[in-house]
Structure formats: C-alpha cells, structure tokens
Amino acid sequence: MLTGCAGLNVNPIASDDTGKRGLNDTTANGIRYYEPAYFLLVYSDAAGSVKTDVLVLPDTTRKMVAKPYSFLANNKQTLSFSDGMLTESTQTVDSTAVPVALIQAAQTAAEAAAKLGLFNAPTTTKSERPSLSAPRLYKIVIHGSTVTLLGSAPGDTVQLPLTPQ
C-alpha cells in the first residue's frame, strides 16, 4: 500500500548566519515571519497620568520560516499574516499563548510600578504624579513568578513579582 503525507514545516531562523540556534537565514527555503510577543506600552496622557496598554507585536528576535510540503498528496495550505506575524493556518499549529490572567497581572504590576516611578519617570512638583517625556515600550517576559519588562535602552529593565488575580 502506498500512502502520502502533507503538512507544514515551521523552523526558527538563527539570529546570525552560523545556524547555531536555527536554520541559516540565507539558505532556508520558505516564508519568513516573526513570532508574536506581548509588549507593555507606558505613556502619559494629556492630564499627565501614566497609562499602560498591552500590545501584541512581532518579536524581531524570533524569526521563523514556514514551508508547506506534500508527498503523494494534495496540500491545500492557507497561511494568513498580519504585521509580519503568522495569524492563521489551515494546519494545526501549536500557538502557545500567555494566559490572559497572567497578562492582566503583569499590567496591574506595571501600573503599580509606574506609580512608584520605577520607569525612570520624573515627578512633577504640581501633582507629584509620575509623568513620562516619551512613550516607552517594554517586552513582557514571564518566567515562573517574575515578570520582567525589557526596555530598548541598556539598563531599562524592570523586574516585578507576579501576583495572579
């Protein structure tokens, strides 16, 4: 009996051309995209209050390549992309997601940190509320019971204990 198979190969692309942590970017065949990551946007509103929003953005440190394949089979493959991220596939994909409760707890912890001035926000003498001169974007990394907010500038990292609600 002869059988066929079809599917989708998904592999990481190495962060450099050595291929040590994934496929070589210059030789790998397939469609490139970035895995999604959660980010915290910290900004001041018109009233001077510190506000936060959780965003899902492409993680440019985690480039992937997707390559549909088939052997003695038909492969109807539909891949949908948005903002450089794979958002939908007809194949079953392990889309590991951070639970909503953990993201909400991270946002609550970040709001508390902002109120305490942990984002290097200068205080104003009028209202003594922290304010930010420019919006800041932090990548949210949850490991165990710690939330790490990774900023883009060296030393712009905030670590907070995670307290699920």
Per-residue confidence band for 91, with pLDDT thresholds at 50, 70 and 90? low
- Asked whether the whole model's pTM tops 0.85, one would answer no
| DSSP string across 92-119 | --------HHHHHHHHHHHHHHHHTTTT
Between CA 81 and CA 87 the distance in angstroms is: 5
Residue listed under structure tokens 């932090």: 138
Q: How far, in whole angstroms, is CA 64 from its chain's centroid? A: 13
pLDDT at residue 123 in the model: 47
- Give per-residue pLDDT as tens, 30-65: 988 898 988 988 888 777 788 888 888 899 888 899
pLDDT tens digits for 131-158?
566 788 888 888 888 888 888 888 888 8
- Beta strands in 45-78, from DSSP E residues, in sequence order: 50-71
Contacts with 19 (C-beta within 8 Å, 6 or more apart), sequence order? none
b/e 64-78 (16+ beta carbons within 10 angstroms → b): bbbebeeeeeeeeee
pLDDT band at 72 (very low <50, low <70, confident <90, very high): low
The percentage of residues in the chain with a pLDDT greater than 70, rounded to a whole number, is 66
Give the whole-angstrom CA distance, residue 1 versus residue 123: 75
Rounded Cα distance, 74 and 31, in Å: 19
